[in-house]
Chain A
Amino acid sequence: AQKITQTQPGMFVQEKEAVTLDCTYDTSDQSYGLFWYKQPSSGEMIFLIYQGSYDEQNATEGRYSLNFQKARKSANLVISASQLGDSAMYFCAMREGRGRNAGNMLTFGGGTRLMVKP
């Protein structure tokens, strides 16, 4: 079974509007971390935002916010005021296990290609 599911292969958004990218996950661990990365055409992975499973507040980083609904096992990324430079692939990822020393790898979803229209 997929551990990370991103149901939107592609999304269009008008410049300056907000957009939500969906991510659902599956884990039996109580302690886990959820990440969002941006991958432009150059291929580099750019860290956007992190949400820990025990964090009570939704994470925010500038124009990025994470809508964390633990009971529904969803961690949607919200990008406000979209810019042309936001056009890229976006990946949701999960680290299972306890603590930063656990050495666990990230498992990635299939990605969503976001295209911002001028």
Chain B
Amino acid sequence: GAVVSQHPSRVICKSGTSVKIECRSLDFQATTMFWYRQFPKQSLMLMATSNEGSKATYEQGVEKDKFLINHASLTLSTLTVTSAHPEDSSFYICSARDLPTRYGYTFGSGTRLTVV
């Protein structure tokens, strides 16, 4: 079946540094990638939608300069958390809109970001 590989699974970084999270679709082309953030014991909240070759669409309240999304190819989308702060510590998970998978969504395994 369709697989989205998300890396890293866990990352700890210092305040003020940047962290890049990658999501790769391994056996299909993901024209659309959704990025979600999940705080402990809460639901998944959509941060942005990225389409290959175009600028990402950010949800209200999400800082586009802080959460940089690049979807340069049909198999790779990246989320870069710039100048990370402790309040950015969260679980980040991507989801690809794909056709081969039943009902069209494949999730990455998630990245747990801790900013110290």
**A94-115 contacts to B (CB < 8 Å):** 100, 103, 105-111
Contact B103 A50 (CB under 8 A): yes
Contact A91 B107 (CB under 8 A): no
User: B17 to chain A: closest CB distance in Å?
Assistant: 23
In Å, the complex CA distance between A45 and B97 comes to 14
Taking Cβ atoms with an 8 Å cutoff, the residues of B that contact A are: 31-32, 34, 38, 42-46, 49, 51, 91, 93, 95, 97, 99, 102-105, 107, 109-110, 112
Q: Is A43 positioned at the interface, with any CB of B under 8 Å from its CB?
A: yes
Q: Is A56 positioned at the interface, with any CB of B under 8 Å from its CB?
A: no
Binary flags per residue of A42-77, CB closer than 8 Å to B gives 1, else 0: 111101001000000000000000000000000000
Taking Cβ atoms with an 8 Å cutoff, the residues of A that contact B are: 33, 35, 42-45, 47, 50, 91, 100, 103, 105-111
Contact A111 B105 (CB under 8 A): no
9 cross-chain pairs, A with B, having the tightest CB-CB distances, nearest first: A45-B107, A43-B110, A50-B103, A108-B44, A108-B43, A100-B104, A103-B32, A110-B43, A105-B34
**Majority-rule SS of A interface residues:** loop
The closest CB in chain A to the CB of B92 belongs to A43
Contact A43 B91 (CB under 8 A): yes
In Å, the complex CA distance between A91 and B38 comes to 12
Contact A107 B103 (CB under 8 A): no
Contact B43 A111 (CB under 8 A): yes
